[in-house]
């Protein structure tokens, strides 16, 4: 059981921008990414597959009208093993995050531990433009007053006091392309009943680094973004090998859906189970599954928050 410590209230802004320039800036252009169907200013989702032109070192650059030159946008990403049920079939067990390269004016998905990004790795991408930001979509920073051991608390008018909130989280190396803090650990969320607050935590229980940033989405909608929120629990009947299968009308028989996943340690604030690996989604027809990228079996009673877009 987790130690439950009521956080101190912050004495300074936890969203202050870091002053340094982007630590990973590159100078060569990137081409050849998946085209977008949405225009600037519209909440959108799509699948991005990184080919050789997109991939440099630990990063896969997204060349898309919804993200290009949009340093203030909020991105949420989940690895997708076989988009549309067609085999790209690339594993990558490294914890992932996103960062914005101001030199290129592009967002990238990257491996937080510095491992080389494999070619043909695919990701589900949700983009919330800066002008669609609301109380339910924002960036959280791990500051000393709100960080204890392996976790950092979030405060949100929708989530506070609500152990049943559905929260999506993606690591953000340096919001807007300024500065950056690595956190090379798989993350999840958990609810502290004593504090009445949700927290972001490292599933392997490593200390949460001060200055780490996270994009947070509370609930199913980012203004007009849509999507269906659901909770997936791992049981004996719905899991096999490295996968927990999703039984949901929005995904069953629909390999073209786009699903986002955030592990949830203790749904409803009741009990808790760690799953300390990077997860992704894949589509073994007729049902989609959430799987452990390193091939391990998800522990019984582990759980995931899902955000599902039917197409």
Q: Is the pTM of this model over 0.75?
A: yes
- Bridge partners (DSSP) of residue 80 are 281
What is the per-residue burial (b if ≥16 Cβ within 10 Å, else e) of 132-150?
A: bbeebbbbbbbbeebbbeb
Residue 225: its pLDDT value, please?
Answer: 62
277: phi then psi, degrees, rounded to nearest 5: -140, 160
Residue 96: its pLDDT value, please?
Answer: 98
Give yes or no for a cis peptide into 286 (omega within 30° of 0): yes
- Strands of the sheet containing 167-172, edge to edge, are 55-56, 59-62, 106-111, 96-101, 167-172, 213-218, 137-141
Residue owning tokens 């998946």? 34
pLDDT averaged over the chain?
87
Q: State how far the alpha carbon of 59 is from the alpha carbons of 9, 84, 93, 227, in Å.
A: 36, 23, 14, 27
Residue range 232-248, pLDDT digits in tens: 999 999 999 999 999 99
- Nearest residue to 123 via CA among 69, 184, 165, 170: 170
Q: State how far the alpha carbon of 111 is from the alpha carbons of 121, 161, 185, in Å.
A: 12, 33, 10
The pLDDT of 199-207, averaged and rounded, is: 98
Residue 33 has pLDDT above 50, yes or no: no
Residue range 249-283, pLDDT digits in tens: 999 999 999 999 999 999 999 989 999 999 999 99
Residue 221: its pLDDT value, please?
Answer: 63
* Residue 19: pLDDT band with limits 50, 70, 90: very low
145: phi then psi, degrees, rounded to nearest 5: -65, -20
| Burial of 195 per CB tally in 10 Å (0-12, 13-18, 19+) | middle
Residue 123: its pLDDT value, please?
Answer: 98
The pLDDT of 164-172, averaged and rounded, is: 97
């Amino acid at each position: 059981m987790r130690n439950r410590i009521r956080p101190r209230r912050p004495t300074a802004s936890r969203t202050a921008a870091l002053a340094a320039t982007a630590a990973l800036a590159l100078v060569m252009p990137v081409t050849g990414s998946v085209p977008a169907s949405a225009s600037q200013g519209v909440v959108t989702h799509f699948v991005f597959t990184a080919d050789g032109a997109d991939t440099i070192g630990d990063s896969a650059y997204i060349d898309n009208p919804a993200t290009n030159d949009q340093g203030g946008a909020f991105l949420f990403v989940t690895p997708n093993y076989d988009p549309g049920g067609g085999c790209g079939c690339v594993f990558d067990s490294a914890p992932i995050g996103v960062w914005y390269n101001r030199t290129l004016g592009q967002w990238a998905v990257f491996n937080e531990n510095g491992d080389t990004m494999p070619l043909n790795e695919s990701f589900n991408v949700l983009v919330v433009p800066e002008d669609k930001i609301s109380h339910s979509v924002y960036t959280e920073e791990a500051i000393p007053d709100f960080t204890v051991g392996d976790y950092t608390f979030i405060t949100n008018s929708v989530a506070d006091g609500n152990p049943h909130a559905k929260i999506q989280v993606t690591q953000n190396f340096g919001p807007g392309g300024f500065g950056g803090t690595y956190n090379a650990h798989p993350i999840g969320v958990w609810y502290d009943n004593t504090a009445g607050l949700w927290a972001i935590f490292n599933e392997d229980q490593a200390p949460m680094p001060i200055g780490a940033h996270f994009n947070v989405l509370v609930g199913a909608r980012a203004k007009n973004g849509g999507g269906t929120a659901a909770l997936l629990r791992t049981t004996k009947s719905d899991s096999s090998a490295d996968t927990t299968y999703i039984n949901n009308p929005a995904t069953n028989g629909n390999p073209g859906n786009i699903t986002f996943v955030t592990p949830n340690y203790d749904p409803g604030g009741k009990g808790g189970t760690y799953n300390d690996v990077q997860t992704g989604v894949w589509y073994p027809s007729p049902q989609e599954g959430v799987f452990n990228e390193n091939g391990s079996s998800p522990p019984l009673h582990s759980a995931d928050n899902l955000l599902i877009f039917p197409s």
